[in-house]
Amino acid sequence: MLKYGRMKDDKKKTVFVAMSGGVDSSVAAALLKKRGFTVIGAHMKCYNVDGCAAGDAEDARRVAEQLGIPFYVFDFEDEYKKRVVDYMIDGYKKGITPNPDVMCNKEIKFGLFLEKAVSLGADYIATGHYVRLRNSYIRKPFVLRSLYSAKDKNKDQSYFLWTLTQNQLEYCLFPIGEYTKPRVRALAKKFGLLTAAKKDSQGVCFLGQISLEQFLKQYIKKKPGNILNLEGKIVGRHRGVQHYTIGQRRLGIPNMALGEKGTHETTPHYIVAKDIKKNTITIAPAGDKSLYQKEIILTNLNFINPFHFPLSAFHILVRVRYRQPLVAATLTSNIKLRISNLVFDKPQAYIASGQSAVFYNARERNLPARLAEAPAKRAGRQMLGGGIIVER
């Protein structure tokens, strides 16, 4: 049974800030210190392939020194390997497309880090995520906590936080959700932080400069097979089904080789299906109806606010990939089977099993009066929760 949180005593202001060594978490720490919190910097030592994490740890330490705050390093390397890296490897071995960023947030940042910080006396933890947290009273002093998209739509990270719960959010602060990225960099410069001009990290965080393909080939042996068109004709060869994902385009086959001789085919082709048992990949030309799905099945559903769990058909907006525009859909759940059906208003392309489908409120006015908060234009779009896409 969910225990609704209470508003915290304003006198309790000790916050552990997860400092990655980047500009976002550096500014988060600086803002909280300016607001009067007792700020403690903490860097998470996690699994890292190319050794670049050592430089990030040093940057985090130096920023903490600039801010005059205590600094600790939490060693989560073994746990990260088991809970995030192995999860990703196992997913690719099964032929799905896992999302390590979601798992990192669930298991490490808002799992191990939160537990460690609270055990050391933290009243809150804070991260450099671009997302907004809002509180609404059920009956004072009891509150419900909700997540909203960030002010900077290009940096919004609410998609990766759909697994969070009321119990976790009771301890969370997201100081930079109200700022745009340029404003964050300007604040870093104003505070004199050495990370002000540091470039953002790209791709899977623990890989550094190592490509995903280079990393996976250490764990998944190459097993060449056939690439087929929709008619079943062999049009090329692949290096192993597990190394590809639905919607992928670059397959090493010139477009002209996909058409009949003399037709000079130029239409890009994308992966539409993978068959692990037969070791084949099927591709389809852009725009083909086989690339689109009207309905998908989800599992592992989580709703941040329990009031939103769909006991009947529920109209929402959804993302099935990070940065994809929100699309309208209807969600229905089978509680006994612990699965849900998501039916899109319009068929969607390039949907990969293993990825996250993340739900957002379709219309802010649909919220019950007791949950109504700041207007959408001020608070952003409310993120309701999400689930994992399973095989079609």
Query: CB–CB of 123/114 below 8 Å?
Result: no
Q: Two tokens at 256?
A: 């002209």
Q: For residue 65, is pLDDT > 70? A: yes
Helix (H) or strand (E) holding 391: none
Q: For residue 328, is pLDDT > 70? A: yes
In this prediction, residues 10-33 reach a mean pLDDT of: 91
Work out the end-to-end distance of the chain between its first and last CA atoms, rounded to an integer number of angstroms: 32
Q: For residue 118, is pLDDT > 70? A: yes
pLDDT of residue 262: 47
> Model-level pTM?
0.87
pLDDT of residue 363: 67
Rg (CA), the chain: 23
DSSP code string of 333-369:
EETTTTEEEEEEEEEEE---TTSEEEEEES-GGGS-G
Mapping DSSP to helix (H, G, I), strand (E, B) and coil, where does residue 381 land?
coil
Dump pLDDT digits (tens) for 335-377.
Answer: 665 678 999 999 999 999 999 999 999 865 444 444 444 444 4
Catalytic residue status for 205: yes
Give domain limits for the chain: 12-128+175-204, 221-286, 292-389
pLDDT of residue 6: 47
Q: How many CB atoms lie within 10 A of CB 359?
A: 29
Closest CA to 22 of 136, 128, 155, 112: 128
pLDDT of residue 48: 77
State the CATH architecture for 292-389. Answer: Beta Barrel (2.40)
Angle, helices 23-34 vs 181-190, to 10°: value is 60
User: In this structure, which topology does domain 221-286 adopt according to CATH?
Assistant: SH3 type barrels. (2.30.30)
> CA dihedral in degrees (138, 139, 142, 147; nearest 10)?
20
Percent of the chain clearing pLDDT 90 (strictly above)? 66
| Range 205-209 contact pairs with CB under 8 angstroms and sequence separation of 24 or more | 205/46, 205/100, 205/101, 205/104, 206/46, 206/47, 206/48, 206/49, 206/53, 206/80, 206/84, 206/85, 206/100, 207/49, 207/50, 208/48, 208/49, 208/50, 208/51, 208/52, 208/53, 209/50, 209/52
Query: CB–CB of 17/126 below 8 Å?
Result: yes
Give the angle 254-289-310 at the CA atoms, nearest 5°.
125
Q: How far is residue 139's CA from residue 116's CA, in Å, rounded to a whole number?
A: 30
Dump pLDDT digits (tens) for 230-289.
Answer: 999 999 899 889 889 999 987 877 654 555 544 556 688 999 999 999 999 999 999 999
Q: Two tokens at 307?
A: 């009031």
- Catalytic residue from among 46, 52, 104, 172: 104
- In the chain, count H helices and then E strands: 10, 18
Q: How far is residue 279's CA from residue 81's CA, in Å, rounded to a whole number?
A: 28
Instruction: For residue 98, say if its preceding peptide bond is cis, omega within 30 degrees of 0.
Output: no
- Catalytic residue from among 46, 52, 172, 205: 205
Angle, helices 23-34 vs 53-67, to 10°: value is 20
**Locus of tokens 């080939």:** 217
CATH of domain 12-128+175-204: 3.40.50.620
Catalytic residue status for 46: no
- pLDDT-based confidence at 140, cuts 50/70/90? low
- pLDDT-based confidence at 193, cuts 50/70/90? very high
**Locus of tokens 């002209």:** 256
Judged by average pLDDT, the poorest of 25-34, 106-115, 146-155, 306-315 is 306-315
